[in-house]
Amino acid sequence: MIRTVLALSVLSAAPVQADVSRAVTDHILPGFAQFATHAEALSATAAADCTPAAVQPAYQAAFDAWLGVANLHIGPSETGALSIAYWPDDRAFTPRALTALIADPASRDPATFAEVSIAARGLFALDMLLYDPAFAGYAAGDATCTLVQVVSADLAAQATALDAAWRDAFAAVLTSAGAPGNATYMTGDEALRALYTQLLTGLTFDADMRLARPLGTFDQPRPRMAEAWRSGRPLRNVVLSVKAAQGLAHALTDTDLPLTDAAVARVEVAASRIDDPAFQTVTDPQARLLVDVLHQRVAAVEVAIDTEIGGALGIAAGFNALDGD
């Protein structure tokens, strides 16, 4: 069990006890197991009835579960997360790839579907197939209906593989940080640092991508740059992602996190004031203002976590990653 007492930061009242093992056992592994369960349910639902109305609820539940672990981009998720959630897609690779798949029956072979472009796989392929008018008008028996089944089955296979890879292999890499032979995490602090980085990177993604993109500028809001707007998920994704970060922060530390919890509560209040969960009304100045407030509240969570945990960890951005040459 990894238990590291970190140096006191100026702002901390007590030493932060960090516990990578607990974060893995109590937060990360249950999150992947839950996502695998929901992805399998989605695949079973689509296999039984692939029409949009039948599949949409299972898709929404799977996406909810994904947000519990979507902020993690280490280990199996380093590449695995990309083919589950391919976004942003500014060059519209997803609709192009899906159109090509619908036109060519051979390309929809479930046995080889893992080799198609990642833009045509995962949750964002389903967002488009199940909700975009250009795709979602299909009926049972249509090529698109088959494609929904293939994408759902592939998503379930990915979720199962990711769950297994975390549980059976990478969890031990994290919890054995500093042990002889561990070339990924050479000290206990490195595993902690890796998880903490995921936490903050996830919140930055919420602020900079999920919120700042649709906000655009006051003169030019960009509603279509919201994440999964077709399936009405932009607001929900922000809230669930922030709550996942809060959960990981608590699992990672022993101390109370009153600033973090208060900041997350303010995110939820700001979220409750937003009428359109898809952020499609940001073109209206009043509606945009409410999303802008949410953006500020999410940024404040980052500050709170940095204050309560990060300062003690002494985390700085990469020495070489930022150099650029």
Partner 1 sequence: MTTRRTFLAALLAAGAMPRLGWAAVGNPAYLAAAQEADGTFALFGLTEGGIETFRISLPARGHAGAGHPVRAEAVAFARRPGTFARVIDCATGRVIRDLTPPPGRQFNGHGVYDPSGAVLFTSEQDAATSDGVIGVWDVAAGYVRRAAFPSGGIGPHDLRLMPDGATLVVANGGIATDPTDRTKLNIATMRPNLSYLALDGTLLERVELRPDLAQNSIRHLAVRTDGLTGFAMQWEGEAGIVTPLLGLHRRGTDLVLALAPEADEIAMQGYAGSIAFDGAGAEVAISSPRGGRVHRFDDTGAFLGAVSRSDVCGLAARTGGLLASDGLGGLVAIANGTARPLGHADRAWDNHIVTLPKV
Q: Using the rule CB under 8 A, is 28 a contact of partner 1?
A: no
Cα dist from 61 to 56, 97, 227, whole Å? 9, 25, 16
- What single DSSP character describes residue 31? H
**Stretches 39-47, 73-81, 97-105, 300-308: which one binds partner 1 (CB under 8 A)?**
73-81
Nearest approach, Cβ of 86 to partner 1 (angstroms)?
A: 9
Q: How many CA atoms lie within 13 A of 145 on its CB side?
A: 15
The 3-state DSSP class for residue 187 equals coil
**Stretches 4-12, 17-25, 26-34, 89-97: which one binds partner 1 (CB under 8 A)?**
89-97
Task: Choose, by CB under 8 A, the member of 10, 106, 219, 319 that binds partner 1.
Answer: 319
Q: Using the rule CB under 8 A, is 140 a contact of partner 1?
A: no
Instruction: Please identify, using beta-carbon distances, which residue of 219 and 325 lies nearer to partner 1.
Output: 325
Cα dist from 222 to 219, 229, 245, 314, whole Å? 10, 11, 26, 36
Listed in sequence order, the residues at least 6 apart from 318 whose beta carbon sits closer than 8 Å to its beta carbon are: none
Nearest approach, Cβ of 53 to partner 1 (angstroms)?
A: 32
Asked if 312 and 7 count as a contact pair (C-beta separation under 8 A), the reply is: yes
Q: Using the rule CB under 8 A, is 79 a contact of partner 1?
A: yes
Q: Using the rule CB under 8 A, is 88 a contact of partner 1?
A: yes
Listed in sequence order, the residues at least 6 apart from 238 whose beta carbon sits closer than 8 Å to its beta carbon are: 206, 210, 211, 267, 271, 294, 298
Task: Choose, by CB under 8 A, the member of 183, 219, 220, 286 that binds partner 1.
Answer: 183
Nearest approach, Cβ of 128 to partner 1 (angstroms)?
A: 17
Instruction: Please identify, using beta-carbon distances, which residue of 2 and 130 lies nearer to partner 1.
Output: 2
Task: Choose, by CB under 8 A, the member of 48, 78, 104, 172 that binds partner 1.
Answer: 78
Asked if 148 and 120 count as a contact pair (C-beta separation under 8 A), the reply is: no
**Could you give the CA distance from residue 139 to residue 130 in angstroms, rounded to a whole number?**
11
Q: Using the rule CB under 8 A, is 314 a contact of partner 1?
A: no
**Stretches 48-56, 124-132, 284-292, 315-323: which one binds partner 1 (CB under 8 A)?**
315-323
**Could you give the CA distance from residue 133 to residue 129 in angstroms, rounded to a whole number?**
8
Q: Using the rule CB under 8 A, is 53 a contact of partner 1?
A: no
**Could you give the CA distance from residue 311 to residue 76 in angstroms, rounded to a whole number?**
28
Nearest approach, Cβ of 99 to partner 1 (angstroms)?
A: 18
Task: Choose, by CB under 8 A, the member of 39, 74, 171, 301 that binds partner 1.
Answer: 74
Nearest approach, Cβ of 1 to partner 1 (angstroms)?
A: 21
Task: Choose, by CB under 8 A, the member of 107, 187, 283, 307 that binds partner 1.
Answer: 187
Q: Using the rule CB under 8 A, is 177 a contact of partner 1?
A: no
Instruction: Find, among 1, 63, 35, the residue nearest to 161 by Cα.
Output: 35
Instruction: Please identify, using beta-carbon distances, which residue of 114 and 140 lies nearer to partner 1.
Output: 114
Show the beta-strand stretches assigned E in the chain: 4-5, 17-18
Q: Which of residues 107-126 bind partner 1 (CB under 8 A)?
A: 117-118
**Stretches 26-34, 190-198, 215-223, 266-274: which one binds partner 1 (CB under 8 A)?**
190-198
DSSP characters for 238-282? HHHHHHHHHHHHHHHBSS--HHHHHHHHHHHHHHHT-S-TT-TTT
Q: Using the rule CB under 8 A, is 190 a contact of partner 1?
A: yes
What residues line the site for partner 1 (CB under 8 A)?
74-75, 78-80, 82-83, 88-91, 117-118, 180-184, 186-187, 190, 193-194, 318-321, 323-325
